[in-house]
Amino acid sequence: LRGTLTIDPAFAVGPVRPRTFGSFVEHLGRCVYTGIYEPEHPDADADGFRSDVLDLTRELGVSTVRYPGGNFVSGYRWEDGVGPREKRPVRLDLAWHSSDPNWVGIDEFMAWCAKADVEPMMAINLGTRGVQEALDVLEYCNAPVGTHFADLRAANGHPEPYRIKMWCLGNEMDGPWQIGHKTAEEYARVATEAARAMRMIDPELELVVCGSSSSSMPTFGAWEHTVLAESYEHVDLVSAHAYYYEVDGDLGSFLASAVDMDHFIDSVAATADAVRAAGKHTKRIHISFDEWNVWYQKRAESRPPSGDDWPVAPVLLEDTYNVADAVVVGNLLVSLLRHTDRVHAASLAQLVNVIAPIMTEPGGRSWRQTIFHPFALTAQHAKGQVLQVALDAPTYSTSRFGEVSVLDAVATHDAESGAVTLFVVNRSTDAPLTLDVDLRGVGDVSVLEALTLANPDHTWAATADDADSVLPQANGSAAIAEGRLSVELPPVSWSVVRLG
Ligand code: AHR
């Protein structure tokens, strides 16, 4: 196979946004307990946080972390998680049929964010709760001392307001599985009123209203239209959630998952712009893709306990990721980046143990899953402006998306350092691709580094015993001659090529 693309700094889409590299910590399975927090672990710090997980979180390059859910937040009472630990109640978590002892709450999460050097993205409960509780938790987090909840925060050891900027107005309220699920009209009312009142406390908040839980929801599109028609002036972003997995061995369709993400983003942007035009609004609504990943939802480990079994921190959604999954994750990042004009925040769901790049053993080791690598390398090397690349490559037939290009790519250009970075995927299941890149307008550059993630067996997956035998490898084929870069891309591969 042969493909070409053109990199020209004139084709800028917008800046690389650090918030594109967010993640997500939910009270779900072992994400919090034995994930980020495990006081009994030999590597636990004085606050009970696993320092190995903190190190891996920093290495991953995560910018923001959404918390505390997810489906969990729609039944959550934030007050349960503050104050002396011995007085905190154990509660039923209906979303995941578990018990939550509330050992970690807002104050612990904020302490963890400071250590991990990430920005918090707080979600409020609009499932079982409403405007008043949204105001209470905002007062607890952001108000200066002198009022009830701000003083409670101070009494709990935190006199300085946290001044959390980003707030999600509920979670997946379009989903019938959501506690307190609502119609678009019902949700539009409560989200708008919560947003309006929250802005009375702090007009600078950045508010995310719930969009669709996937592009296959029956209400997709109509939901965003109804919700934005009501909330437009009171919110900044609309959320999008998408999970992908290989269905019945259809690797070709799975590798093309970014086609759906492109369609999702383009559709939500178009819907938001239609509401903007009809409502004579001047600002634009942007997208927070605040749950995305590969997730094998049909596997047994995604099934919550049942009956009288309400365990604390059960093994749930602990997907093991293979090389093909990592190629898809790398391609989804390509899609998010090329939409940097509309996608202003995103969260890889989730961070630890639960559909996660980082895995831990209780009391034991931690390791990187395959999906860790494309995320970390993209977060590290995407700098400056995102460039649209003009692609020309053969297509292949997929049962889910029709004819799809075997090649997908995006580039970034840092005007300050002159660095140009190409992120590229060969979706072919069996054929290598020779990529020829026209570097016009880039100037005189050489190859600083070329790394490729691929394996003859794309089903290879990392384990605690062997996390490192398949890592992104130097790609020695990358070479520049007469203003053109040439590089060989193996089948089912993700690569980063750094020029400077
Ligand atoms: O990330 C796992 C779950 O997926 C979240 O709790 C929910 O928001 C989504 O359905």
Query: Residue 234: which CATH number?
Result: 3.20.20.80
If you average pLDDT over residues 118-127, what whole number do you get?
98
Task: Report the percentage of the chain scoring pLDDT > 70.
Answer: 100
Same domain, 343 and 479: no
Nearest to 375 by CA among 348, 406, 345: 348
- Per residue in 82-107, pLDDT (tens digit) is 999 999 999 999 999 999 999 999 99
**Is residue 186 flagged as an active site residue?**
no
- In-domain check, residue 10: no
Q: Say yes or no: CB of residue 172 within 6 Å of ligand 1.
A: yes
Same domain, 95 and 242: yes
Residue 453, domain extent: 387-499
**Is residue 185 flagged as an active site residue?**
no
- Per residue in 430-485, pLDDT (tens digit) is 999 999 999 988 989 999 999 999 999 999 999 999 999 999 999 999 999 999 99
User: Of residues 172, 230, 246, 488, which has the active-site annotation?
Assistant: 172
Atom 1 of ligand 1, residue of closest alpha carbon: 349
CA–CA separation, 300 and 169 (whole Å): 31
ipTM (interface predicted TM): 0.99
300 — pLDDT class (breaks 50, 70, 90): confident
Same domain, 116 and 191: yes
426 — pLDDT class (breaks 50, 70, 90): very high
Same domain, 258 and 406: no
If you average pLDDT over residues 367-390, what whole number do you get?
98
Q: Say yes or no: CB of residue 71 within 6 Å of ligand 1.
A: yes
**Which amino acid is it at 47?**
D
The C-alpha R_g of the chain, in whole angstroms, comes to 22
CA–CA separation, 115 and 344 (whole Å): 24
- In-domain check, residue 3: no
Same domain, 196 and 62: yes
Same domain, 403 and 446: yes
CA–CA separation, 40 and 16 (whole Å): 39
Task: Report the percentage of the chain scoring pLDDT > 90.
Answer: 98
